[in-house]
Structure 1
Amino acid sequence: MLLAHPALLTDLIHEYEMLSALDADDGGPAAQRRLDDIGYSLCVATGTGDVDAALVAARHRLPGAGVHDDSVLTAHPHRTSRVRRHR
């Protein structure tokens, strides 16, 4: 499996978190589409099937990530498994 460059992962995580914080679900179709696209990109870059798993995997691949980090993400209403497959 190819591994995404840490800089790409950092950018994707940052943009996903910013859009989530801005509540992209209520930001109209363009904002929602961008959030879905970033979620999909995170899944592809990490080899995962949902956004929560992709965020965890991406963070663990960043420099300085603890190998034995057993922290748990709290459920976030905007990070449910909404990854749409591109047609």
Structure 2
Amino acid sequence: MITAHPSLLRELVERCETLRRRLAADNSAQTARRLEDAAYTLCVITATRQLDTALFVARRQIAEATRQKQPLPH
């Protein structure tokens, strides 16, 4: 399976989380639109349809990429 680079995934996860918090605070149309755009991008990259699922998959892919970069114990 092809996955996005972990840094891109991290950036999108952080953006979605930040925009969710901002939307809860200000409920502006601009913030809602920015969240929709970020969520759409993350869903496409993770091959999912809902933001919560996309966030879960992205975090799992980031964790797996991090695990693969760690040296094996001797």
For normalisation by structure 1, the TM-score amounts to 0.65
Residue segments in structure 1 that go unaligned for 5+ positions in a row: 65-87
Which letter maps to 2:36?
Answer: D
For normalisation by structure 2, the TM-score amounts to 0.75
Identity %: 41
Residues 30-69 of structure 1: pairs in structure 2 closer than 5 A: 30-62=30-62, 63-64=66-67
Structure showing the higher helix proportion among its residues: 2
State the 1:53 CA deviation. Answer: 0.7
Q: Which has the larger radius of gyration?
A: 2
Segments ≥4 residues shifted beyond 2 Å: none
Number of residue pairs matched by the alignment: 63
CA distance in 1, matches of 2:61, 2:20: 21
CA distance in 2, matches of 1:55, 1:40: 11
Residue segments in structure 2 that go unaligned for 5+ positions in a row: 68-74
Greater RCO (CA < 8 Å, at least 6 residues apart): 2
